[in-house]
Structure 1
Amino acid sequence: MKKSLLSLVFVAVFGLTATASTPIDGEKKEVKVSESTVTWKGYKVTGSHYGSINLKSGHLEMNGKNLTGGEFVVDMTSITVNDLEAGKGKEKLEGHLQSADFFGVENNPTSKLVFTSVKSMNNNSYTVTGNLTIKGITKPVTLVVSMFENKATATIKIDRTKFDIKYGSGSFFDDLGDKAIYDDFDLVVDLAL
């Protein structure tokens, strides 16, 4: 009797715990934007720069424990440079990145990623295809999303010239020498759910 009662208590406790942490079918898991980070890194012939951008909103769509979709909006007006100190070109570079030469944030204050296809690679990782919109231009991108409990991470390489960001690109301008900026930049996204 004691053994049966103990077994029932064990099943009830762990059954409720599993149910509480398992998303229901079709659940949208809102991203905690204040606890999430989006970092960028851009490359030039003479080095690189890196910084961050604030996530404005986002959610992942779940079917049970499986990722099925998602959508994210980034506040492009929040772009910052983290590898330079104030007064050492930081403000100038941030202003240039916000200008029409790069992201044109006055007319395009947000960028957006909408998942269009999600394929499971294993228990925690997914190959995701989505539509990325930057400067009002939408192009398909592919990335890998890894999920662990209440966190999700992704790294994506983006060709800026596909979004009409051609400033300093050796693909479009000759004789840039060591002032050339590479077309690809990286985004690393760490989401808190």
Structure 2
Amino acid sequence: MNNFFTYITLSILFCSCMGKHGSNAQKVKITDAERQTVNQLGDTVQIDLEKSKVHWKGTKMRGATKHEGEVELKSGYFISNRGELMGGSFIVDMLTIGVTDIPKSDSIPIRNINEHLKSADFFEVEKFPVSEFHITRVRPVAGDSLAISGNLVIKNSTKHIVFGARYSDHLFSSTFTIDRFNWNIGDYGSWVEKKF
């Protein structure tokens, strides 16, 4: 195992209606779950969980109100071969999701929002305590740019997504938008943005 540590910053915008939320983030291609398509033999590069922050931001569909917060990575690793990213897997601890943009003195609104995020309306964390992303293919594009393919598991749904990313100086980063209805996340007029 390689002792070289790296970290991740991944932003995912969970939208209830594409084009209504005002984000210019890339929209991913979403298809049914796919098998791993590349050889992922190489060094295992553990994610530095202290540096790998997971952030989320949410708003109602018409943007009337917004909130943001954090959720923790439970584990994660990349697979590298001769300095090239080949694959990886990341587990998000959905039990830790919480709002951070409300003053700590307002404990009741914080509790209400946190409970709502953890409820069946959104992530149903008692039944589905983790979300997962498993890289199935990495294609170099130009410089430090990559096209990443992988299976995103949220609640009881697994979908294959393709998005652009950067991998440079031990940092993996990307921002993209998906339709949350594909993962059975709430259907009553709000969207959630998560930053990994």
Over aligned residue pairs, what C-alpha RMSD do you find?
1.9
Indicate the structure with greater helix content. 1
- The offset of 1:83, in angstroms, is 1.3
SS at match of 2:54: strand
| Per-residue Cα deviation, 1:96-127 (whole angstroms, up to 9, x for no partner) | 00011110000100000001121111231211
5+ unaligned residues in a row in structure 1: which ranges?
1-19, 170-180
Partners of 1:161 and 1:136 in 2: how far apart? 12
SS at match of 1:94: helix
| Counterpart amino acid of residue 120 in structure 1 | P
Partners of 1:81 and 1:99 in 2: how far apart? 14
| Per-residue Cα deviation, 1:114-167 (whole angstroms, up to 9, x for no partner) | 011211112312111111001121011222221222222122323211111224
Determine if the alignment matches structure 1 residue 187 to structure 2 residue 194.
Answer: yes
SS at match of 2:128: coil
| Counterpart amino acid of residue 88 in structure 2 | G
Indicate the structure with greater strand content. 2
Determine if the alignment matches structure 1 residue 48 to structure 2 residue 55.
Answer: no
Partners of 1:104 and 1:123 in 2: how far apart? 40
SS at match of 2:181: helix
Instruction: Quickly say closer, same or farther: Cα 1:47–1:142, change in 2 above 3 A.
Output: farther
Which of the pair has the greater relative contact order for Cα pairs under 8 Å at 6+ separation? 2
Identify the residue that residue 172 of structure 2 maps to in structure 1. Answer: 152
Identify the residue that residue 95 of structure 1 maps to in structure 2. Answer: 115
Larger radius of gyration: 1
Identify the residue that residue 144 of structure 2 maps to in structure 1. Answer: 124
What TM-score comes out, normalization by structure 2 length? 0.72
Q: Which of 87, 96, 102 lines up with 1:84 in the alignment?
A: 102
Aligned residues, how many?
154
SS at match of 1:37: coil
- Aligned identity (percent) is 32
| Counterpart amino acid of residue 45 in structure 2 | K
SS at match of 1:35: coil
Matches within 5 A, 1:11-50: 26-44=42-60, 45=62, 46-50=64-68
5+ unaligned residues in a row in structure 2: which ranges?
5-40
SS at match of 1:121: strand
What TM-score comes out, normalization by structure 1 length? 0.73
The answer to whether the 8 Å contact 1:158/1:186 transfers is no
